Amino acid sequence: MLVEIAVQDLAGAATAAEAGADRLELCTGLSTGGLTPSAGLIASVVTVGLPVRVLIRCREGDFAYLDEEIGLMAEDIRRSRDLGASGVVVGAVHRLGGRPRLDRAALSRLVGAAEGLPTVLHRASDVVGPTDTAETLAETGIAEVLTSGGGSTVAEGMTGLGRLAGLLGGDRIIAGGGLAVADVAELAAFGVGAVHASASRSVTGGPTGPGAATGRSVTAAERVAALVAAVREVSA
């Protein structure tokens, strides 16, 4: 089982690496669920030395995208590949008869833009459930899925994670979303391939305008290390 840490700056990437993480997911705007990072940030973070998967999400909000937005994200995928990303993390949803379904046409287009670079389905999967997720991976060639199992946290989604592991094989699942160290042992029983967390804490910075100082999230070495230790214990 690998430990993947979601980071949004170069300092966080370095902290995660030093604390023992196996892989990074790079984005910005974690407080909004994550957005595509800049080319400069990607180029900087790949120098840390860990595999870097880049989140491709052109805006906050839902995962139903216009064709133009899919085109923009396809270009971001090509740029990420050229900058040294080890993979990309994508998702797209549409509604058929009022029910959300993964947008397989859009996802196939994004997989095509990756030109063989591994692709991961992000937590758009939690909108639709295990069956649609498994069928979509089979149809589109997406390699893995980042999911909480449909719960607001991994602990609440454990039943869904177990069902998805039965459909896909646990090694294609990256468990994330409110992940706690205490969840690791049960995830290991499903054969989950990786766990995912921001492992962050809030710090107070300077003001960004009139009024009080603002806070921001930073990668916390002690939280990364605790997750790494739990994973190593069940993997021994």
Tell me the C-alpha distance between 40 and 26, whole Å.
12
The boundaries of the domain holding residue 100 are 2-235
Question: What is the DSSP secondary-structure string of 117-132?
Answer: S-EEE-TTHHHH-HHH
Residues 184, 161 contacting (CB under 8 angstroms): no
Contact 7, 25 (CB under 8 A): yes
Residue 99's pLDDT is 84
Q: For residues 126 and 146, what is the distance between their CA atoms, to the nearest angstrom?
A: 9
- Give the domain CATH number at 73: 3.20.20.380
Q: Write down the pLDDT at residue 208.
A: 59
- What is this structure's pTM? 0.94
pLDDT at residue 210, as a whole number: 65
pLDDT averaged over every residue in the chain: 95
Q: Is residue 178 a contact partner of residue 161, using CB atoms and an 8 Å limit? A: no
DSSP labels, 179-212: --GGGHHHHHHTT-SEEEE--EEEEE---SSSSS
**How many domains does the chain divide into?**
1
* Positions in the chain short of pLDDT 50: none
φ/ψ region of 206 (left if φ > 0, alpha if ψ in -120 to 50, else beta) reads beta
